[in-house]
């Protein structure tokens, strides 16, 4: 299977990737439930949150967390504002949160069906296991970004992304289950269990 995609000619692969990204596009505002597990070196167990991701059109993205705490983060005009129940909102520049910049670049390009934008921000590697299942591996082109986030893997089927894995340069990993798959997040996830979920879900 792997050898098959490795043998695929580059232009053909790029064309398929473009067609795929174009097929992922949907009109704003587009919302999808998500469940995220973060594996971090400084923590013994992963952190799990669930909520909803929404593309509001343009470069505006909203990440709403419903569990375990309520929190809404919005990205707009290069600024992130973070609102948490009972606390002062926190605001900071997108510049200082490279992970968010990458999330924005990849998410907005995908939901906008904008292959050109995706190609501008990332080197894209496409592999399709069969007609329906696919994986996109995105490597940030910006040398500064790639120092914090080494790559993103998006797995999906048809025109639905299922899974987004953000591999950070320091070894930390964030896995987001999207759409219907979000409901299947285990209470105590492991990297392996999530990999299986993404592949088979």
22, 33, 82, 125: residue in contact with other proteins (rule CB under 8 A)? 82
- R_g over Cα of the chain: 16
The site string for other proteins over 141-160 (x = CB under 8 A, - otherwise) reads -------x------------
CB of 162 to other proteins, least distance (A): 21
CB of 167 to other proteins, least distance (A): 13
Go through 175-194 and write b for each residue having 16 or more CB atoms within 10 A of its CB, e for each that does not.
bbbbeebbeebeeebeeeeb
Q: For other proteins, which stretch binds (CB under 8 A), given 20-28, 44-52, 106-114, 127-135?
A: 44-52
Q: For other proteins, which stretch binds (CB under 8 A), given 13-21, 26-34, 91-99, 119-127?
A: 91-99
CB 163 within 8 A of CB 177: yes
CB of 47 to other proteins, least distance (A): 4
CB 181 within 8 A of CB 201: yes
When asked if residue 173 is in the footprint of other proteins (CB under 8 A), the reply is no
The full length of the chain comes to 201
CB of 193 to other proteins, least distance (A): 17
17, 24, 38, 162: residue in contact with other proteins (rule CB under 8 A)? 38
Question: Residue 28 gets which letter from DSSP?
Answer: S
The interface with other proteins within residues 3-22 (CB under 8 A) comprises none
4, 15, 91, 171: residue in contact with other proteins (rule CB under 8 A)? 91
Contacts of 132 (CB under 8 A, 6+ apart): 157, 158
C-alpha distance from residue 41 to each of 38, 53, 168, 171 (Å): 10, 25, 11, 7
């Amino acid at each position: 299977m792997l050898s098959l995609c490795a043998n695929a000619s580059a232009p053909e692969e790029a064309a398929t990737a473009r067609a795929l990204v174009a097929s992922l596009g949907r009109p704003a505002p587009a919302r999808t439930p998500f469940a995220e597990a973060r594996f971090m070196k400084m923590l013994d167990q992963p952190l799990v949150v669930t909520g909803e991701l929404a593309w509001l059109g343009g470069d505006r993205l909203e990440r709403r967390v419903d569990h375990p705490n309520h929190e809404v983060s919005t990205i707009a005009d290069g600024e992130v504002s973070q609102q948490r129940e009972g606390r002062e909102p926190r605001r900071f520049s997108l510049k200082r949160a490279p992970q968010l910049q990458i999330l924005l670049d990849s998410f907005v390009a995908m939901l906008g069906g904008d292959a050109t934008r995706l190609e501008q921000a990332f080197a894209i590697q496409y592999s399709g296991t069969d007609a329906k299942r696919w994986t996109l591996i995105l490597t940030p082109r910006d040398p500064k970004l790639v120092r914090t986030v080494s790559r993103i893997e998006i797995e999906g089927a048809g025109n639905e992304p299922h899974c987004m894995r953000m591999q950070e340069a320091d070894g930390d990993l964030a896995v987001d289950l999207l759409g219907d798959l979000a409901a299947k997040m285990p209470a105590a996830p492991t990297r392996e269990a999530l990999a299986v979920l993404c592949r088979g879900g």
